[in-house]
Structure 1
Amino acid sequence: MKYKTKYLVPAIVAASMIYIPTLQANTSWMMATGYPDNSFFTQNLREFVAEVEENSDGQIKIDMRSNGTLVSHDEIKRSVQRGVVQLGEIRLGAYSNEHPVFRIDSLPGLAVTYDEGYRLNELLQPYYEKVMAEQGVLPLAYVSWPGQGFFADKPIESTNDTDGMSIRIYSQPTQKMAQELGFNAMVLPFSEVPQAFSTNMINSLFTSAQTGIDVQVWDYVEHFTYTGTMHNINALIINPSALDALDDELQQVVRDAARNAHERGWEMSQARSTENNNVLEEQNITVTQASDELQVAINDIGEEILAEWRQSASNEANHIVDDYIEWRDRAE
């Protein structure tokens, strides 16, 4: 599948400019991401860095640190806002308490395929940009997580299987979904998942296969029940002052590389989704598709969560979701 961006984030709609080296002094940036080197998110960002450095003739150098070694995952957005680092990658849903727009990609059942997730993100991009501009950051690219599912020591086929289970989730919508399904749900940072399993704080996990691999979930459970449910979004963000300090030609180098990272990232995510299931099976994780009964329960809960979200969201955000649902229903 080839993804083509309608809103080439942000202001990337301008035609690519031929880069002509100038006398501008070399620029050195720091970049932080919380994911390990084997994550496709990290691999995609390394290609972004290489492209920026090559096409700027070395006038822009980016020191990228992965796996939270420079800044902890939860502090990346604040660090970019304050200019402690110039670039970072964040998961939008981690900031759902700051603004309703950051909860949209975590609404169960709203966008369950890559095509749906891409279209929803496409419509949301101008609104994301406006909200984040007020927070002092500028989004450059967005990449989808693979679809979600339940890691546990048994298959999750219905709400009858969740009694007494403690699960780690990562956002307000997924917490409500898990609670309604009968789990004891708790929000924990990505970095705390292994310890939570080791100390029996949790015995299940709702996430993508990618996260399961990143935390080597096979050390704790034996089953992955794939539901789809949502395609969460990561964003590559930059401190606006850092970008503005570049001349127009170098700014375009960064924007072009970000556009390529955006398109490449969606392709990598979809390819990795299939590969990840194979990796899990190689580690003796049994991968199954969710039952119709479980999917119906999730979708019913999703409708309730969407109705609650609408009450806190702006008219503009509601109109965007309405436009998306109209498109989705026509496409079915």
Structure 2
Amino acid sequence: MKKLTSALVFSSLLSTSAFADKWHMPTPYGDGNLPTQIAYSFAAEIKEKTGGDLDITVHSGGSLVKHTEIPKAVKSGQVQMGEVFMGILGNEDPIFKHDNIPFLATSYDEAKQLWEAAKPAVEKQLDKSGMKLLYTVAWPAQSLYTEMPVEQLSDLSGAKMRAYSPSTSRLADLMGTTPTTIQVPDIPQAFSTGIIQAMITSPSTGVDSQAWDYVNYYTDVKAWIPKNIVVVNKRAFGRLDKETKRIVLEAAKHAQEQSWSKVAERADKDTALLVENGMNVSEPSEKLISELQTIGETMISEWKAEDPKEVGAILDRYNP
């Protein structure tokens, strides 16, 4: 039934896109997550201000397109827009890895500065792929979920670690763990069946997947602050009239502002929910932080070596 529904939605796109009145926006995250809530608000603002002339349907939780397929779907025009975790594009170009590097930016102020440094290069690469950047949504800082207490990296030796981007796979290697690709909807089953024993992700993802049902420990390492990007197919955007384009870009600006203003509050709220539901939430030991910072330095060097000119320019512009 799901395949049939998706097929029907896709078959309708050709008949609607020419009039730009009914658009589809897949997002990989569930309705309880801040990025999805912002997406709904973004779509509602556009519908209201265009008098319903542009109606965007948000398909949450990977219900229409799987996460890894969303960029391709937007590029090809299969859907007009979509939301994706930027780090999964790291194999396409190293500039998409900038916010997946441990300890490069660990506060929200630093993350904003890093984004401003990287934004021109990101927009350039998206443009080459036939996509236009609309807005970003920051996640709370990424921390460590485990089945056992972790005071140093050797405590994780041999464990299978969830990976969800090229950078997190490399991080898992450097931590002495085995990277295992798991998308958000599959996290609970992966832990319960022993496919993974650890992951680094946000408190929001932990709450959304009810991490207390399958892990006991949350070590608040605050390793990095990643982002989602919301992109639109350039051809679809180009077919809009001037006023509708203005409304879309204005709504995107509001969505971006909402993202950065609410992310810290959401992080605190979701961390408190982890505690409330019985998880052992603790600050990392000095040894663990030192080991992770050393890995971060290694990953920064490796990242720069992938594209010394472009990555070097980002690092030069970034001055926290």
Question: 1 CA distance for matches of 2:250 and 2:227?
Answer: 20
2:246 aligned partner: 252
1:69 is aligned to 2:63: yes
Residue 284 (structure 2) pairs with residue 290 (structure 1): yes
Structure 1: distance between partners of 2:224 and 2:122: 18
Contact residue 177 and residue 298 of structure 1 kept, 8 A: no
Aligned match of 1:228:
222
| Structure 2 residue 135 is the aligned partner of structure 1 residue 141 | yes
Looking at structure 1, the residues matched to 64 and 119 of structure 2 have their Cα atoms a distance apart, in angstroms, of 28
The aligned runs of 1:306-325 (5 Å cut-off) are: 306-324=300-318
- Alignment-derived partner of residue 115 in structure 2: 121
Does 2:179 correspond to 1:185?
yes
1:238 equivalent to 2:219? Answer no
Matched, 1:59 2:45: no
Alignment size in residue pairs: 303
Given the alignment of the two structures, is residue 173 of structure 1 paired with residue 176 of structure 2, yes or no?
no
- Asked if 1:131 corresponds to 2:125, the answer is yes
Shift of 1:283: 1.3
Partner Cα separation in structure 1 for residue 85 and residue 233 of structure 2: 16
Q: Which deviates the most, 233-242 or 155-164?
A: 155-164
**In 2, Cα distance between the equivalents of 1:183 and 1:252?**
48
Identity across matched positions, percent: 34
Structure 1 or 2: more helix by fraction: 2
Once the two structures are overlaid, the 10-residue window that deviates more, 170-179 or 73-82, is: 170-179
After the TM superposition, which segments of 4 or more aligned residues of structure 1 sit over 3 Å from their partners? none
> How many Å separate the matches in 2 of 1:214 and 1:185?
22
Tell me whether 177-186 or 247-256 shows the greater mean CA deviation.
177-186
Match of 2:8 in 1: none
- Coordinate RMSD, CA, aligned: 1.5
Using the alignment, how far apart are the partners of 1:125 and 1:103 within structure 2?
12
Q: 1:197 aligns with which of 173, 179, 191?
A: 191
1:99 and 2:119 are equivalent in the alignment: no
Q: Is the 8 A contact 1:26 1:58 kept in 2?
A: no
CA contact (8 A) 2:303 2:311 kept: no
Q: Which AA in structure 1 matches 2:167?
A: P
Asked if the contact 2:33/2:204 (under 8 Å) is kept, the reply is: yes
Q: Partners of 2:115 and 2:220 in 1: how far apart?
A: 22
Conserved in 2, the CA contact under 8 Å of 1:146 and 1:208?
A: yes
8 Å contact kept, 1:153–1:223:
yes
SS at match of 1:227: coil
Counterpart amino acid of residue 83 in structure 2: E
Compute the displacement of 1:112 (Å): 0.7
Rounded to whole Å, the distance in 2 between the matches of 1:290 and 1:179 is: 20
Alpha-carbon distance in structure 2 between the residues aligned to 1:264 and 1:61:
21
TM-score, with structure 2 as normaliser: 0.91
Find out whether 1:46 has 2:40 as its counterpart.
yes
TM score, norm. by length of structure 1: 0.88
3-state secondary structure, aligned to 2:62: coil
1:228 alignment partner AA:
K
| Paired AA for residue 295 in structure 1 | I
Matches of residues 3-18 of structure 1 in structure 2 within 5 Å? none
**1:187 positional shift:** 2.6
The alignment partner of 2:23 has SS state of: strand
Gaps of 5+ in 2: 1-17
2:270 is the alignment partner of 1:299: no
